[in-house]
Chain A
Amino acid sequence: MLYREAGQFKTTYRADQAVFPIRQDFIGIIAILAVLFVVVPLTFNDFWLKSIMIPTLIFALAAIGLNLLTGYAGQLSLGTGGFMGVGAYACYKLATIFPDVNILIHIFLSGFFAAGVGFIFGLPSLRIKGFYLAVATLASQFFLEWAFGRIAWLYNYNDSGAIEVPTRTLFGVPITSATAAPVTQYLIVLAIVVLLTWVASNLVRGRFGRAWMAVRDMDIAAELIGIRLLPTKLMAFAISSYYAGVAGALMVFMWLGAAEVESFDINVSFQLLFMVIIGGLGSLLGCFLGAAFIWNLPIFLRAVPEMFGTHVNAATVEHIQFMIVGGLIVFFLIVEPNGLARMWAVAKEKLRRWPFPY
């Protein structure tokens, strides 16, 4: 048994509609945030921050974006990688054109460019659904990849064709490029991700979230209730792309330090889709679980042979890793097609009743 909510009565609708209506959940999330904000920065070394914590958070944010679109609004998309790229390139252009403006403002602004592009590529969604829409978003992925590679203005006519992040500071402390300490970057990423996750949870609980889910579950009935399909879908595309754009900007400015076309290719889109499916469609918690699972599993598998003191050559490790990751994905999808978030919910439900069967 984890905990029971017996004895907690709600006397107002406000209390009943809170993000965490159960007191233990509320205490739990405070504890998790305290660990993330205080304990992790104090104890984790640079490797852990740079290669586990920061990317997991950034991918979780992009996964939230995709989940709002696919999990909540039911529009399958394979263009998330491209939209992340739009955010990254927009942020790079903003940072080089307006060097005096704070980089955090640029990061938040760059999301709007991604939202605009997402809006345009969302237009076909009025006419096409499901797999066909996925193919249409695939077109956006290829178009954007082409644009990042061919439009030299986007990367300031660098010979390398890559974007290099300039050093920017916040209160005199460098927060981008190699001079920044991973701890600072981690804290900034964490703060942004927590803020945007909270905003996403507000959205999905309100009338916009309900309209998305209505379109996802039964678009005919939604239309007859008075939900207009095109604006609802386009808003989902725009907001989803905003999240992807901010995630892309964070990825380049707070994590990689440099990026080129390949950083936003189709593999990123697929990886994010896997995160959302494994984590759980229509669940914000699932985005974090999925991102943590997909991103960290290979790192973990690489570390295993070293733990036992055996040295296997890198190529072999990589092949084994692909096989194990693939196998685990299939395993999880068979055991719980609704993803890790549902698995967690079911486990919680069972523990609540334990030791009784029902």
Chain B
Amino acid sequence: MSAAEQLAPASRELLLNIENVSLSFGGVKAIRDVSFDVRKGEIRAIIGPNGAGKTSMLNVINGFYHPQEGTITYRGESRRDMRPHIAATQGIARTFQNVALFRGMTTLDNIMTGRTLKMKTGLFWHLFRWGPAETEELEHREQVERIIDFLEIQAIRKTPVGRLPYGLQKRVELGRALAMEPELLLLDEPMAGMNLEEKEDMSRFILDVSSQFGTTIALIEHDMGVVMDLSDRVVVLDYGQKIADGTPDEVKSNQDVIDAYLGVAH
């Protein structure tokens, strides 16, 4: 947390700014006029009860959904909606709530696939796996091995991910996102369905990613203990609207948040 202590999170450089974004599917309003920002190097949590629009928000950020209103400013560039390919080339990586790994491929191949955008050699060299193609493969293999070491998954390098237990799959998915060397990492419930030990491991990895690589992280999580301990700032959504935004302590004592989570008599 060294980087976080040097500067108060709210005064750091702006990386992503969401302004008045609204998203609806037919008559269903998933997100209503939500604004918040993500600053460089922080861990930003998005929380809220089920159906609050958290995952939709991530989908808007990486261009999978296109909001009807609002602007998204990423690295100083404003646009109405992101496109998945632009998001990927500009350094936004993400993991999914339900693991979205390439099940038939090995751990190694999954993480190597994360480096697709960094690989440039043409088809001709790849036909014969010769010259630049081989050099490039080996260079990237080395990078990928570093990620494998970092996440402590050396033993499952050559195992098809479909055969791995859930906790490890989540870890491989984080590895695949890290292989993109992202500037902004979106984690959709990285700890869902994990036991205490796996949660501790995952929390450690998230903190290490933040401090070692300086990656900005936006995460959705339901485990409040984890959220409050990990994140620098928290934004709370309920029924598609923002109801609170601030440090974990501020959010914890906010009456609207308590009402949203515990329910309130109308």
Interface residues, chain A, CB within 8 Å of chain B?
13-14, 17, 199, 202-203, 205-208, 210-211, 213-214, 216-218, 220-228, 235, 282
Contacts and interface: CB of A to CB of B under 8 A. Distances in A.
Given A13-B141, A17-B141, A206-B126, A228 B119 contact: no
Interface in B126-155: 126-129, 133-134, 137-138, 141-142, 145
Contact of B101 (A208, A216, A218): A218
B114 interface: yes
A224 B88 contact: yes
B73 to A, nearest CB: 20
Given A214-B113, A223-B85, A282 B64 contact: no
Contact of B88 (A208, A218, A225): A225
A223 B104 CA distance: 17
Nearest to A203: B126
A221 B101 contact: yes
Nearest to A198: B128
Q: Which of B62, B116, B138 has the most CB of A within 10 A?
A: B116
A224 B119 contact: no
Contacts of A228: 85
B94 A224 contact: yes
Chain B binding site: helix, strand, loop or mixed by DSSP?
Answer: helix
Given A207-B116, A214-B116, 6 more contacts: A14-B134, A202-B129, A210-B113, A214-B105, A223-B84, A226-B88
What's the interface size class on B, roughly? Answer: 35 or more
Contacts of B123: 208, 235
B164 interface: no
23 contacts: A13-B145, A14-B138, A199-B128, A202-B128, A203-B126, A206-B129, A206-B133, A206-B137, A210-B105, A210-B113, A210-B116, A211-B116, A217-B103, A223-B84, A224-B64, A224-B87, A224-B94, A225-B114, A225-B116, A226-B85, A226-B89, A228-B85, A235-B123
B239 interface: no
A199 B126 CA distance: 8
Contact of B105 (A13, A202, A213, A223): A213
Given A206-B137, A225-B117, A217 B96 contact: no
A225 B105 CA distance: 15
Nearest to B158: A16
B57 interface: no
Contacts of A224: 62, 64, 84, 87-88, 93-94
B62 A225 contact: no
A213 B104 contact: yes
Interface in B143-201: 145, 176, 180
B127 A202 contact: yes
Contacts of B96: 221
A17 B137 contact: yes
**When A and B form their complex, which 10 residue pairs have the shortest distance between CB atoms, in order from nearest?**
A226-B88, A217-B102, A202-B129, A226-B117, A221-B100, A206-B126, A13-B141, A207-B119, A210-B113, A223-B84
B126 A208 contact: yes
Contacts of B64: 220, 224
A13 B158 CA distance: 13
Contacts of A226: 85, 88-89, 116-117, 180
B119 A217 contact: no
B112 interface: yes
B238 interface: no
B109 interface: yes
A112 to B, nearest CB: 13
A283 to B, nearest CB: 11
A235 B122 CA distance: 12
Contacts of B113: 210-211, 213-214, 222, 225, 227
A318 to B, nearest CB: 38
Contacts of B145: 13
Contacts of B93: 224-225
A225 B114 CA distance: 6
Contacts of B127: 199, 202-203
A218 B85 contact: no
A205 B129 contact: yes
A220 to B, nearest CB: 7
A17 B112 CA distance: 13
Contacts of A218: 100-103
Given A199-B127, A199-B128, A224-B88, A210 B117 contact: no
B116 to A, nearest CB: 6
Q: Which of B84, B103, B114 has the most CB of A within 10 A?
A: B84
Nearest to B134: A14
Contact of B104 (A202, A207, A225, A282): A282
Nearest to B83: A223
A253 B145 CA distance: 48
B127 to A, nearest CB: 5
A202 B123 CA distance: 11
Nearest to A235: B123
A52 to B, nearest CB: 30
B2 to A, nearest CB: 30
A312 B147 CA distance: 66
Given A13-B138, A202-B126, A207-B119, A217 B105 contact: yes
B141 A217 contact: no
A17 B133 CA distance: 13
A238 B44 CA distance: 44
Interface in B77-93: 84-85, 87-89, 93
Contacts of B84: 223-224
